[in-house]
Amino acid sequence: MDKALALPEILACISNMLDNNNIISCMQVCNAWRTEFEPRLWRSFTLKQLGPDDMGVQPNLALLQKNAYHIRSLVIEHMDPTLQDFFTQCKQLDEVKFDVQEVDDGDIWNRFSDMIDNHGRLRKIVINSVPWPMTNKVLETMERCPKLIVLETKMAELDVAATQLYLRLCSKNLRRLSTWDDDYDHPEFPEDLIFQEMRYLDICHANGISMDKQLTWLSRCPNLISFRWEPGNGYVDVAKLCTILSGGTCPNLTALHLLVTVADDDIAQILEAAPMIEKLSLPRTEFGVLSMNALRRHFPTLRDINLQFCSKVTSPMVQEILRSCANLQSISAESLAHSDIIQHPWACRNLQMFDVGIDVVDETGDDDPPMSHFKEVYQRLGQLTDLNYLSICSENQADTDSRDPIKVSLEAGFDELATLRKLTFFSCKTLLNSDDPSEGFKVVEWMVEHWKRLETFEASTLAGVRGDIGDDGNTTKPDAMDLLRDHGVTFSAFFSPGLDYDDDDDVDYYDGDAWTEQSDYEDDGYDMDDFATYDHYGPIDFSSDDEYADQYAQYMQLQYMGLE
């Protein structure tokens, strides 16, 4: 047994299941374990911009240089000239994020150019809100990175020459481009400018590029798989977009994400012109009857659909999607009624994400529906055994009393969800009974007992999960917060603008509208309701990087003292 634990293959499997603190503990077992686990600790690293009170937090230069070879992902918040040798020693870098906000000394872009010029392995570069115009040199240097396939820029400023260099760079080997709120200067798209390798194109608030030229950009991507578009002016040239989609220009396009207000008849035209769609995101649009009619031809291929905040989407529409799309893996919508749920079984038995508010209205007109109605809904949800994300309350339900949401209690049949053994995220927002904290505690107690993979629970702090506080300031009843913490489950506090909250410095409230301000529509701690709807990289694999890069410096400074 002892020899087995010394095998690198066994230790590698073990390290994949550990967080940074556990890895550091393993490194103190013996020299062999330290040799094996140390590279894992350095896979991702952040050079933070430190304040006067943070001196000594970051490891010294010798320690950085010693472990530079192990770093695969590097975030740069501070471009210290003394670290140039360290940069050149990061020979195994796969991705780098440039997020420097310090005062420019006139040489920041040059130092960044010199750094990436020495790394032929780079596959991904992110430039995030760097407050100085991009130089020709840095763009030419990126163009020389032979393996660069992912580029993300946010709030980049490009003059006329830099704009053309940027487009030329994108036309080389890039497979994934995200441009967010970048400023371009009179871009030109000559006939020979073709983005042959581009598979995933995100154009969001591209300032300085007209609607016509943005669509020209799309038409020059013959192998495109996914197009995400958020025009800054809120206007879409539907006729030209349909011409591109129907003309065979992008025959492989299977993912379409339109983050702009589009009328029902315009959506219908777009869906009729598009190739067979697998992933569709139309949040905050006027998706309605005409759009639904056009969507039906895509039912055989549809895998993910996001219809959040679409006021014209009805419960029967959502039910039809669930009972007709056998390949569906993810759905987000506003509401689904019990009366529709029980009409037909769902075809999508492999669903992984369900983010739909449940309405349970008693058709007899009584104030309270019978408990059997709630149980029928939970039984149907319990059949989705592949679910890893479940949200049963929409923001509209959380903000208004006009709906009749599902009850979250064991008495109502919540325990029918015991079959959801793969669940990692659950949200009921404001639905826990705030009048009876003991009922909320029972639900939480049941969750941590039956959902062993649960990582995050989202609910309102008003919803009876904190226990009662006595006159002495102590909790007089069991506190579900402590129970969640003891089982390693993160509590995500849902904040509804329609409710009153006491100030609480211990809770970071979730703003229901915050998702509209995010640059990346992907999971960032499960705070956004559109988790897993967007494939950020598609088939490009950037796995195995630890999620706690911004804490590495502090971990190492505090823990390495006993390891030197």
pLDDT in tens, 308-341: 999 999 999 999 999 999 999 999 999 999 999 9
When mean pLDDT is compared across 46-50, 188-192, 434-438, the lowest value belongs to 434-438
Query: How does the average pLDDT of the chain come out, rounded?
Result: 80
> Which ranges constitute the DSSP H helices of 226-383?
238-246, 264-273, 289-295, 315-324, 338-341, 371-382
pLDDT (average), residues 26-55: 72
User: CA 391, CA 394: separation in Å to the nearest integer?
Assistant: 8
Q: Is the pLDDT confidence value at 185 over 90?
A: yes
Q: At how many degrees (to 10) do helices 20-27 and 8-15 cross?
A: 150
Find out whether 468 and 437 touch, Cβ atoms under 8 Å.
yes
Amino acid at 94: D
Residues 6+ apart with CB under 8 A from 249: 218, 219, 222
pLDDT tens digits, residue range 96-129? 999 987 666 668 898 899 889 877 889 999 999 8
Q: Is the pLDDT confidence value at 559 over 50?
A: no
pLDDT band of residue 219 (cuts 50, 70, 90) is: very high
- CA-angle at 34, arms to 30 and 39, nearest 5°: 170
Q: Is the pLDDT confidence value at 558 over 50?
A: no
By C-alpha distance, which of 489, 462, 492, 465 is closest to 477? 465
Q: How many CB atoms lie within 10 A of CB 393?
A: 26
Q: Is the pLDDT confidence value at 178 over 80?
A: yes
Q: Which residue has better confidence, 28 or 419?
A: 419
Integer angstrom CA distances of residue 281 from 86, 255, 521: 43, 8, 10
Torsion from C-alpha of 538, 542, 543, 545, nearest 10 degrees: -150
- Top mean pLDDT of 35-44, 254-263, 527-536 is at 254-263
Residue 501's pLDDT is what? 39
Residue 400's pLDDT is what? 56
pLDDT band of residue 222 (cuts 50, 70, 90) is: very high
pLDDT band of residue 508 (cuts 50, 70, 90) is: very low
User: CA 276, CA 322: separation in Å to the nearest integer?
Assistant: 18
pLDDT tens digits, residue range 509-543? 333 333 223 233 232 222 222 323 223 322 223 23
pLDDT band of residue 401 (cuts 50, 70, 90) is: low
pLDDT band of residue 263 (cuts 50, 70, 90) is: very high
Q: Which residues of 242-272 are buried (b: 16+ CB within 10 A; e: fewer)?
A: bebbeeeebeebbbbbbbbebbbebbbbbbb
DSSP 3-state percent helix, strand, coil across the chain (nearest 5): 35, 15, 50
Q: What is the DSSP string of 26-37?
A: HHTT-HHHHHHH
**Which tokens go with 51?**
């304040």
* Terminal Cα distance for the chain, rounded: 29
pLDDT tens digits, residue range 415-456? 999 999 999 999 998 887 656 667 888 899 999 999 999 999
pLDDT band of residue 52 (cuts 50, 70, 90) is: low
Residue 453's pLDDT is what? 94
- Quick check: pTM over 0.85? no
Q: Which residue has better confidence, 474 or 166?
A: 166
pLDDT (average), residues 380-394: 95
Find out whether 435 and 463 touch, Cβ atoms under 8 Å.
no
